[in-house]
């Protein structure tokens, strides 16, 4: 496996379900990100784990809960979502503290909330 | 935070045409990247270009940091160039802000 891997690629869930999105990076990077991409909107940064510190966008609802057990793995736990949470969720990683901090993205997890 | 504006929002090109996409940003940045998102959602990094000019095949990019803009040039466009092109800049804290993107459609 190389690069950034996201699973599942597609997820359909009801509003009462609990599910998780998984991201794994094989690049040795020290920062990982969750972005949300809704139709016709810019990418929205949800969470950053950088050098073991979590930074979050204060507008993200508490029904989204991130977990970063180590520098290679990132999860997004989903609970009692709303239909407007349907979107493409993108994971990225980068190497902070270097001269060229380049974002590398996974292929995304497309979420549909019924 | 830094504001990032991309223009035009939409672009339709005939195969073989050249085009220029623009990214304006509101503050000094030390990191600027261009991405291409294909129809399946995959974002691919095209350039890391906080300043200067770079070229990669039919694509090139120029960033004039003192004037707070960057340009992406597509020459001899092909249908595979279709997709959305995003500009992303990082602030002094290293946090990235994306523009709204330019949707490019290249017709045969």
C-alpha–C-alpha distance, residues A25 and A22, integer Å: 10
- Percent pLDDT > 70 in chain A is 96
Phi, psi of B93, rounded to the nearest 5 degrees: -85, -5
Q: Round to whole Å and give the CA distance between B99 and A43.
A: 8
Minimum-distance CB partner of B95 among A48, A102, A107 = A48
Task: Judge contact between A78 and A13, C-beta under 8 A.
Answer: yes
pLDDT digits (tens, 9 = 90+) for A41-75: 889 999 999 876 777 777 899 999 999 999 899 99
Please judge whether B41 and A110 are an interchain contact, meaning their C-beta atoms are less than 8 angstroms apart: yes
Tokens standing for B94? 């290293």
Indicate if the pLDDT at residue B94 is higher than 80: no
Mean pLDDT of the A10-16 span: 91
Which pLDDT band holds residue A93 (cuts at 50, 70, 90)? very high
Q: Which two tokens stand for residue B64?
A: 């004039």
Quick one: average pLDDT of A94-113?
A: 89
- What is the tens place of the pLDDT at every residue in B48-93? 999 999 999 999 999 999 999 999 999 999 999 999 999 999 877 7
pLDDT score of B68 = 96
- Where residue A101 falls among pLDDT bands split at 50, 70, 90? confident
Q: Which of A105, A109, A110 to mutate to test the interface with B (most CBs of B within 10 A)?
A: A105
DSSP state of A103: -
CB A109 within 8 A of CB A64: no
Q: Indicate yes or no: CB of B100 within 8 angstroms of CB of A42.
A: yes
Whether pLDDT at A1 is above 70: no
Region class of B57: left (phi > 0), else alpha (psi between -120 and 50), else beta: left
Contacts of B95 in chain A (CB under 8 A): 45, 48, 55
How far is the alpha carbon of B37 from chain A, nearest alpha carbon, in Å? 10
Residues B25-30 have a mean pLDDT of 90
pLDDT range class, residue B1, cuts 50, 70, 90: confident
Q: Does the beta-carbon distance from B42 to A41 stay under 8 Å?
A: no
Strands (E), A14-102: 18-25, 31-37, 44-50, 53-56, 64-70, 73-79, 87-94
What proportion of chain B, given as a percentage, has pLDDT over 70? Answer: 100
Instruction: Give the distance from residue B45's alpha carbon to the nearest chain A alpha carbon, in angstroms.
Output: 7
């Amino acid at each position: 496996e190389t690069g950034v891997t996201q699973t599942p690629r597609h997820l359909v869930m009801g509003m009462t379900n609990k599910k998780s999105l998984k991201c794994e990076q094989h690049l040795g990077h020290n920062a990982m990100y969750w972005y949300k991409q809704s139709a016709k909107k810019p990418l929205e940064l949800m969470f950053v784990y950088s050098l073991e510190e979590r930074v979050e966008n204060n507008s993200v609802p508490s029904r989204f809960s991130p977990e970063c057990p180590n520098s290679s793995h990132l999860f997004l736990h989903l609970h009692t979502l709303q239909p407007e949470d349907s979107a493409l969720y993108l994971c990225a990683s980068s190497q902070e503290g270097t001269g060229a901090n380049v974002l590398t993205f996974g292929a995304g997890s497309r979420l549909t909330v019924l | 935070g830094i504001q990032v504006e991309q223009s035009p929002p939409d672009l339709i090109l005939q195969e073989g045409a050249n085009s220029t996409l623009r990214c304006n940003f509101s503050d000094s940045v030390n990191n600027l990247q261009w991405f291409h998102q294909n129809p399946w959602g995959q974002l691919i990094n095209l350039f890391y270009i906080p300043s200067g000019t770079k070229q990669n095949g039919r694509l090139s990019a120029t960033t004039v940091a003192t004037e707070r803009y960057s340009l992406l040039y597509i020459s001899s466009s092909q249908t595979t160039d279709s997709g959305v092109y995003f500009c992303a800049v990082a602030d002094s804290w290293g946090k990235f802000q994306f523009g709204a993107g330019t949707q490019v459609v290249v017709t045969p």
